[in-house]
Structure 1
Amino acid sequence: MNFQDIIYEKKDRVAKIIINRPEKLNACTPVTVYEISKAFIDAWTDKSVGVVVFTGAGDRAFCVGGDQSIRDLGGYRGYSREELEGTIAALPLEVGWQIVTFLIRHIPKPVIARVNGYAVGGGHVWQVNCDLSIASEKAKFGQAGPRVGSFDPGFGTGDLWRNVGLKRAKEIWYLCRLYTAEEALKMGLVNTVVPHEKLDEEVEKWCSELLEKSPTALKMLKYAFLAETDGLAGITELGVGGLSLYYGTEESLEGRNAFMEKRKPDFWKYVNGR
């Protein structure tokens, strides 16, 4: 895959999605968001991938949200209809943002946020929605919506509340302050904080530990958390995960075979000790 705004790498069962706009503190355009969504979909469908690492290029920022320099009345501009025709990038940026957030939450593999600097605004929403967050001691966290005339009324508020509690979540959104990595750790925004020069080493360690675990068990655990937080949509994910396991049984295949052979199925010969 050829990308303009991101770097996408796969090695040793780890997929790395790197926002590559360091000169803009990895602020995103519609094209950036479209490319991130393509990479997440590829990591989802690639059975050799067990873990996804999501990060930003350079030493200054994970992501600071949407690129305000291309924002105008009605949303984010800067690209012609012809450039974006037929892609998710043709959607308003705020819609594409939610598609990426959905992919982070629903890809049946752990997603680690490697937070190397500023995680602000929409970038902060994304790191909150990742399964795990590993932060450099140089990282800064916070929301920017009300300061720049924006907000995230969905996962950006709900998951933040679940991470840090209602009062603190309101503080983060209403006041738009920046918090240090240590403050983020105390609040429950991240899992661990390490010296900046140790960030990659720590991320690799966590990836290795995850890859030692059953990928099916990790998938079903992720779906179980969604079932708790996402209502019927979450229960559907858990159910579909169970269905994929059922399709791998002789009992399920008996139904298909009986249909094709125009006979009554005999499911009970595959039931053992239920």
Structure 2
Amino acid sequence: MADILTERKGDTLWIRLNRPERRNAFDPAMSGAITEALQDAASMRTVVITGSDGSFCAGGSLQQLGTPTTGEMRGLYQSSLQMLDAIRTCPRPVIAAVNGAAAGGGNELVMACDLAIAARSATFGQTGPKVGSAPVTGATNVLGVQIGEKRAKEMAMLCRRYSAEQAEDIGLINEVVEDDQLVDSVTAWCDELAMLSPRYLEITKISSNIWWNSARDSFSSGLGMLVQAVGSADMVEGATAFLEKRRPGFPEPE
């Protein structure tokens, strides 16, 4: 099975995450495929990222986190950051068409996109401290610029789930539409963007990266701390509990 499916619809490149058996969670292979597709998108007017089979993206794959190795986790973290950077540096506007749950790194994927339109059934939220991780590639830094520091800390620390309407109210996404109208609505946004100057849209987009670029050192240091925590009791318990679909029992603070 291909990790992603790409389709050119007029002047728009649609990238569909295609691992429904794990709710489209990304591993290094999928992150690499998305990065490569974005690097080939300069000839298009817009790019859309969406998911398959009613899920948007469940974040980074947790399948190996019960028995992690430093090399595996470093590869997952680095490839994830490269994917998010590819979204921010793609010269064309990137729209998240959120057709289901955007959780953990999937929520950060929405944050990295320039625009986001969600189906009414979509949900949003971070999962890091709940599964033995931390959302250091956006939700602990850039998210505060997007929705305010207190709301961002609420989302990153408490790991609550938010409806599409709540996500729109706090400024995480641009619009909520009925599920069966998502593709048409996203296409309408793409058509509107296609009427504008691609040169000046690119200038607008890249110059808007000031906060992302300012947080870039925080991303790297945060990922470095996550690598140092590989194999910790908190990581193993969080991932194991998630895979076993039970409530985690984390160790007492030291």
TM range (shorter): 0.7 to 0.9
- In structure 1, the residue matched to 2:37 is 39
SS at match of 1:58: coil
Residues 206 and 75 (structure 1 numbering): CA distance in 2 closer, same or farther, change over 3 Å? farther
Post-superposition offset of 1:76: 8.0
- In structure 1, the residue matched to 2:63 is 69
Post-superposition offset of 1:230: 2.2
SS at match of 1:155: coil
Number of residue-to-residue matches in the alignment: 215
- In structure 2, the residue matched to 1:237 is none
Identity of paired residues, percent? 39
SS at match of 1:201: helix
TM superposition score normalised by structure 1:
0.74
Distance, in Å, in 2 between the alignment partners of 1:19 and 1:215 is 26
- In structure 2, the residue matched to 1:81 is none
Letter in 1 for 2:204: L
In the alignment, structure 2 segments of 5+ residues that lack a partner are: 217-254
1:57 aligns with 2:55: no
Q: Residue 211 of structure 1: which of 176, 179, 194 is its match?
A: 194
TM superposition score normalised by structure 2:
0.80
- Choose between structure 1 and 2 for higher RCO, CA contacts under 8 A separated by at least 6 residues: 2
Could you tell me whether the CA contact under 8 Å between 2:48 and 2:97 is conserved in 1?
yes
Distance, in Å, in 2 between the alignment partners of 1:205 and 1:5 is 27
Could you tell me whether the CA contact under 8 Å between 1:29 and 1:76 is conserved in 2?
no
Could you tell me whether the CA contact under 8 Å between 2:56 and 2:101 is conserved in 1?
yes
Residues 75 and 63 (structure 1 numbering): CA distance in 2 closer, same or farther, change over 3 Å? farther
- In structure 2, the residue matched to 1:196 is 179
Residues 154 and 24 (structure 1 numbering): CA distance in 2 closer, same or farther, change over 3 Å? closer
Distance, in Å, in 1 between the alignment partners of 2:215 and 2:111 is 22
- In structure 2, the residue matched to 1:261 is none
Q: What's the C-alpha RMSD, in Å, of the aligned pairs?
A: 2.0
Distance, in Å, in 2 between the alignment partners of 1:199 and 1:17 is 15
Q: Residue 120 of structure 2: which of 137, 141, 160 is its match?
A: 137
1:24 aligns with 2:9: no
SS at match of 2:91: coil
- In structure 1, the residue matched to 2:160 is 177
In the alignment, structure 1 segments of 5+ residues that lack a partner are: 78-89, 234-274
Map Cα deviations across residues 2-31 of structure 1 (whole Å, 9 max, x no partner): x82110112311011110011211111221
Residues 170 and 115 (structure 1 numbering): CA distance in 2 closer, same or farther, change over 3 Å? same
Map Cα deviations across residues 195-217 of structure 1 (whole Å, 9 max, x no partner): 00110110000000000000011
Post-superposition offset of 1:232: 11
Could you tell me whether the CA contact under 8 Å between 1:75 and 1:93 is conserved in 2?
no
Could you tell me whether the CA contact under 8 Å between 1:64 and 1:118 is conserved in 2?
yes
1:167 aligns with 2:153: no
Distance, in Å, in 2 between the alignment partners of 1:136 and 1:228 is 28
Map Cα deviations across residues 113-149 of structure 1 (whole Å, 9 max, x no partner): 0000000000100101100000000000000011111
Map Cα deviations across residues 47-105 of structure 1 (whole Å, 9 max, x no partner): 2x01000011112x11011121233323585xxxxxxxxxxxx9611100000000111
